[in-house]
Amino acid sequence: MSTLNPAGWRPEMTSGEAGAGGVPATFTGNRALMLEEPLIFEIGTRETTGVDFDEVAEDFDLGPLTRSAPIGLAGLSESETVRHYTRLSRQNYAIDLGLFPLGSCTMKHNPRLNEKVARMAGFGDVHPLQPQETVQGALAVIHELADWLVKLTGMASVAMSPKAGAHGELCGILCIKAALEARGEDRRVLLVPESAHGTNPATAAFAGFTVEGIPATSEGRVDSDALIARLGPDVAGVMITNPNTCGLFERDMKKISDAVHAAGGYVYCDGANFNAIVGRVRPGDLGVDAMHINLHKTFSTPHGGGGPGSGPVVLSAALAPYAPLPVVKPVDGKLRLVEEENAADHQPDSFGRMTAFHGQMGMFTRALTYILSHGSDGLRQVAEDAVLNANYVLRSLDDVLEAPFGASGPCMHEALFSDRGLADGFSTNDIAKGLIDEGYHPMTVYFPLVVHGAMLVEPTETESLDVLDQFIGALRSLAIRAKQGDEALKTAPHFAPRARLDETLAARKPVLSWQGE
């Protein structure tokens, strides 16, 4: 018996499912293509390395700063490394494997041309502080992408440097703070609808604002009367998601914007769901002052298992002067990065810097490649197909799952269901875990908070009708099983690399790193 895994994932020959139902025992813990994999620290050693060097360096003595104690890092040869990560990768679900209908996350196909372009030496192997005459192509990418984003949104300008959606929110909120400061006003309150992403109130608080909630109407939209009634000299602005997290377009957006402006505030729009309206609606026409665009959602830069994201923020003329450094501007026929050294000439009212360097260039190249591939006509088709697919899912399932806002009109890019009508003791989570056994990643669950047991399904435009029909069939069967009280659902998934994991244990006794030597 191997001692590779003292932590104990590897079943003993005599334990577990040995012999049960005629299934033979497993020595390795593996089952054909379902392969277990230890931690690198359990298979590597401190002496092993998978890298050969040009030379053998001498032992340097840097005095008392010389590192003498062991670090505790494990090394693997290249062959072992490739196998380790390949085996780990096979324990992940991914868009490349199938429909990934996480609502509000926009898991669409990631074109591989985008990856190829980002790796061209002229983009991938360029230092952010090279002399600007040696990076004109990189600046041109930023400039060209910025031009698209401005035109697609009907806004005055765009701040490109924010690193992700929440960072973009922070950028927009700081622009509002800077604009208020320039007006000599100290407005402390930001109004945030209850259905908002958690990042909205967190961002407002991170930037020092007080957050006040705005209720939703029974049809799943912001209560615009309540919002407008709350406006006043202490209100800096609003943060509204449009299309909203219930998958609906905020019909009153323009009315709200006008009222907020009349009361001296600014309108922040969470653009997480811009993919539903790109090419069909320009937020600038709705009175928006700032909106972040998740390049990893609308413009399909890969999600990578949780980042990197990229969150450029389009700005109205009122907020554009306060955009963070750096910005790219044409100066004397050449593209220039406006940084600290020339901000006084070109961006004098900037609120400052939000990050080192210039933003997520690797995401810019991918997003621009995606945008150029689709073009103005294709992007419009993207929104149309995304909305069509979502409505198809909504109307194909609203007889077996309650669609709380099904009567509120067409949905946008995502279809929202509740857990109403499931048998006692059965939950949204059971349906989600059942979907895993059917070969799908579950939809977003328990969000938005305004719907009980929410299931938010975003199919995206890159799924075919056949794939949608199969998914609909699977979800329909699960809804029926949950209504009938099929106990097997409660222990799903049965066929995933792991059964349900004990999250309470993980939080009660946190083990956040490998504890061995």
Partner 1 sequence: MRYLPLTPDDRTKMLAKIGAASIDDLFVDVPAEARLNGPIADLPAHASELAVERHMAALARQNRAAGDGPFFLGAGAYRHHVPASVDHLIQRGEFLTAYTPYQPEIAQGTLQMLFEFQTQVARLFGMDVANASMYDGSTACWEAVVMARRITKRNKALFSNGVHPHYRSVARTMAHYTGDVVVDSDPELNAASDWAELAASVDKDTSCVVVQYPDILGRIDDMTALSAACAQNGALLIAVVTEPVALGLIKSPGEMGADIVVGEGQSLGVGLQFGGPYVGLFACRQKYVRQMPGRLCGETVDANGKRGFVLTLSTREQHIRREKATSNICTNAGLCALAFSIHMTLLGEAGLRQLAAINHGRAKKAAAALAAVPNVTVLNSGYFNEFTIILPTDARSLVHRMAERGVLAGVSMGRLYPDNDALANGLVVAVTETVTEDDIAAFAKALTEELA
Q: Name which of residues 84 to 123 contact partner 1 (CB under 8 A).
A: 84-86, 88-97, 100, 102, 105, 107, 109-111, 113, 115-123
- Of the candidates 233, 250, 239, the one whose C-alpha atom is nearest the C-alpha of residue 212 is 239
DSSP 239: E
CB of 51 to partner 1, least distance (A): 5
Cα 324 from Cα 239, distance rounded (Å): 20
DSSP 400-440: TS--TTGGGS--SS-EEE--TTPPTT--HHHHHHHHHHTT-
Cα–Cα dist 456/443, whole Å: 6
Site for partner 1 contains 372 (CB under 8 A): yes
Q: Minimum CB separation from partner 1 for residue 435, in Å?
A: 9
User: Closest distance between partner 1 and the C-beta of residue 314, in Å?
Assistant: 14
Contact with partner 1 (CB under 8 A): which of 223, 261, 263, 279? Answer: 279
Q: Which of 146, 206, 144 is nearest to 172 (CA)?
A: 206
Total number of residues that touch partner 1 (CB under 8 A): 210
Write down the least CB distance from residue 423 to partner 1, Å: 21
Give CA 61 to chain center in angstroms. 46
Considering the rule CB under 8 A, would residue 463 count as an interface residue with partner 1? yes
Q: What angle do CA 507, 511, 516 make, to 5 degrees?
A: 170
Site for partner 1 contains 332 (CB under 8 A): no
Distance CA 41, CA 503 (A): 23
Position 182 contacts partner 1 (CB under 8 A): no
Q: How many CA atoms lie within 13 A of 366 on its CB side?
A: 27
- Exposed, middle or buried, 345 (CB in 10 Å: 0-12/13-18/19+)? exposed
**Shortest separation between residue 44's beta carbon and partner 1, angstroms:** 6
Q: Which of 32, 133, 333, 348 binds partner 1 (CB under 8 A)?
A: 133
When binding is defined by CB under 8 A, the residue of 189, 433, 451, 456 that contacts partner 1 is 433
Among 201, 220, 247, 434, binds partner 1 (CB under 8 A): 201
Instruction: Output phi, psi for 265, to 5 deg.
Output: -105, -175
Q: Does 483 bind partner 1 (CB under 8 A)?
A: no
Instruction: Say which residues have a Cβ less than 8 Å from residue 4's Cβ, sequence separation at least 6.
Output: 10, 38, 42, 43
CA distance 53 to 316: 53
**Residue closer to partner 1, measured from CB, 419 or 461:** 461
Residues composing the chain = 517
304 contacts partner 1 (rule: CB under 8 A): yes
Interface with partner 1 by CB under 8 A: which range of 19-27, 416-424, 455-463, 475-483? 455-463
Work out whether 459 is an interface residue with partner 1 (CB under 8 A): no
Residue from 21, 22, 131, 184 in contact with partner 1 (CB under 8 A): 131
Q: How far is the CB of 232 from partner 1 (least distance, A)?
A: 20
Contact pick of 380, 418, 476, 483 for partner 1 (by CB under 8 A): 380
Q: Write out the binding residues for partner 1, residues 12-51 only, by CB under 8 A.
A: 16, 37, 39-41, 44-51
